[in-house]
Each structure stands twice: as C-alpha cells, then as structure tokens.
Structure 1
C-alpha cells in the first residue's frame, strides 16, 4: 500500500466526561475507513506522575496522527484539551471539531 492509499489517522482529543461522544465518533470515523486513536478511561486513582505519563502518551498519539478531532459538547474545552490543541498546532496537524460551537 502506498502512502497515498494509507488510511487517514485521526486522534480524538477532549474530556473523557464525553465518553459516549468519543465512542460514537470512533465508530463513525472507523466506518469511513479511518484509523482512530483516542485516550482510554482508566478506572484507577491516578497519581500525578501517572496522569502526566498518560498525558505524554496522548501527545504521542497526536504525533502519529494526520488530524486531531476535538470531542466536545457545548463548547467545553478543559486545560488538557487546550494543551493538546496547542501541541497539534505546533506540529501543523489538521484540527477539526465535532462541536459546531468551537471555532478551531
């Protein structure tokens, strides 16, 4: 498969409080033939060091993505999501949002 034929890789970013939106957007994009990367909810109490490590892991997802897709509702962007958007911009990633309120 050539680079031109490679499926688009999309990284979902946003607050995990919108877990159902993450799941529906992941299904929708996968059905369109895209590779979807996203954070996973962790059911354990996270130490600050573990939380930071998971944040860095998510930045690596952005690194390997062609596009960042922001999952949000009512324009909500938490500090971690704002950090991820800034990171993606610095790396010249395409950024889109499923929330029409957001102008990214």
Structure 2
C-alpha cells in the first residue's frame, strides 16, 4: 500500500503582538479603575493659576500632577548655580515622566515659553490630548 503525502497549505498562525509599555499602563489604569490623570504644564510664573487649576480639576474628579515648585523663587536647595542646573535637568525629566503617566495635559497661563512649548510637543508626540486655560496661546502641531 503506497503512502501518499498530501501537501496542504496551512494557515499562518498569528500571535498577538506584545503590549507596548504605554498600552500596559493604560490597561493597568483601567483594571485599577483610576480616574483620569491630568498633568498641568506651563510657566512657573503661573504657580497660583496652577494651584487654582489643580483645585478645579480635583473637584471634577481627576487626579492632578503638576510642577512641585518654582525654581525662580529663592531657596537653599537651588542656591548653588551648578546644583541648580543639574536639578533643572532632573525636574525636566520628571515632568516628562508626569506627561507619560497622564491621560491629558492642561496648559495653564496666557504665555508659552520654550519649555512649555517642548512639553506640548512631547505630549502631542505621545498622542496625549492637550487643553489650554487660554486657548488663544495654543501652538499648531507640526
């Protein structure tokens, strides 16, 4: 008895792609039933306005993260110029991490400087929605 081998084309098996870190974070937020997280951005000259925005966003049921302090105000922690420069770099990295953590960005104030402009561009590059307390200062996406 002759054995015939049949060649048939098998369907390729598709495997699910592993989740990106961003997708894992979004899934974890859902599983934890976390409220929407808003990061406040803007010039530190608007610290009082940021505090007011924090109050309003918190009252609306959102988790708020924002700059912790204003390095333009004198303080012993950044009185040394070399130390202040290193601290500024660490704070910039920390704020970018806050943007990655957040679900959306709220830009506070009627002025956008270079740092805030870079934060907006970074947030938009990540697909984060950006709101403005003063929509007239919005900068177009590139």
Same fold (TM over 0.5): yes
- Paired with 1:100 and 1:91, the residues of 2 have a C-alpha distance of 20
Match of 1:23 in 2: 51
Match of 1:55 in 2: 92
The higher radius of gyration belongs to 2
Question: How much does 1:72 deviate?
Answer: 1.1
- Paired with 1:100 and 1:86, the residues of 2 have a C-alpha distance of 16
1:8 equivalent among 36, 57, 77: 36
Question: How much does 1:103 deviate?
Answer: 3.0
Relative contact order, higher structure (CA 8 A, sep 6+): 1
Gaps of 5+ in 2: 1-28
Gaps of 5+ in 1: none
Question: How much does 1:49 deviate?
Answer: 1.5
Question: How much does 1:6 deviate?
Answer: 2.6
Confirm or deny: 8 A CA contact 2:39 2:66 kept in the other structure.
yes
1:79 equivalent among 105, 108, 114: 114
Question: How much does 1:19 deviate?
Answer: 1.0
- Aligned pairs for 1:61-72 within 5 A: 61-72=98-109
Give deviations 1:3-47, integer Å, cap 9, x for gaps: 284310000000110111001000000000000000111534252
Give the structure-1-normalised TM-score: 0.88
Query: Structure 1 residue runs of 4+, over 4 Å off?
Result: none
Q: Cα RMSD (Å) of the superposition? A: 1.7
Higher-strand-fraction structure: 1
Match of 2:13 in 1: none
